[in-house]
Amino acid sequence: MRAVVQHGLEPDQVSLAILDDPEPGEDDVIIEVLAAGVCGSDLHQWHGHPSWAVEPPVVLGHEFCGRVVAAGDRVAGFQLGDRVVSETAAHVDMHSPLARVGSYNIDPERRGFGTRVNGGMAERARVPARCLHHLPDGVPTVIGGIVEPVAVAYNAVVVRSAIKPGDIVVVLGPGPIGLLCCWLAHLAGAGEVLVAGLPSDESRMGHAKALGATFTHTGDPEALPDIARDLSDGLGAHTVIDAAGVSASFVTAMDAVRPGGSITKVGWGPQPLNASLDPIVAKAITVNGCFSHTWPTWEAVVGLVGRRFDEIMPMIGWRGPLEHWIDGFEAMESGTAVKSVLLPSGVAEADSIS
Query: How is residue 20 annotated by DSSP?
Result: P
Q: Is 41 noted as a catalytic residue in this protein?
A: yes
Which one of 44, 47, 91, 324 is the catalytic residue? 44
Q: Is 95 noted as a catalytic residue in this protein?
A: no
Which burial class, exposed, middle or buried, applies to 333 when counting CB atoms under 10 A from its CB (0-12, 13-18, 19+)? middle
Amino acid present at 57: P
**6 SS3 class:** strand
Amino acid present at 12: D
Apex CA 151: angle with CA 139 and CA 99, to 5°?
125
Rounded CA separation 226/222 (Å): 8
**Contacts for 227 with CB less than 8 Å, ≥ 6 apart:** 194, 215, 217
Amino acid present at 32: E
Of residues 126, 148, 12, the one with CA closest to residue 68:
126
Cα dihedral 256, 293, 61, 32 sign: negative
Return the bridge partners of 215, or none. 194
Which one of 7, 15, 41, 86 is the catalytic residue? 41
**330 SS3 class:** helix
Rounded CA separation 233/225 (Å): 13
**Contacts for 89 with CB less than 8 Å, ≥ 6 apart:** 104, 105, 110, 111, 112, 131, 292
Q: How many residues can be counted in the chain?
A: 354
**273 SS3 class:** coil
**Contacts for 274 with CB less than 8 Å, ≥ 6 apart:** none
What are the catalytic residues? 41, 44
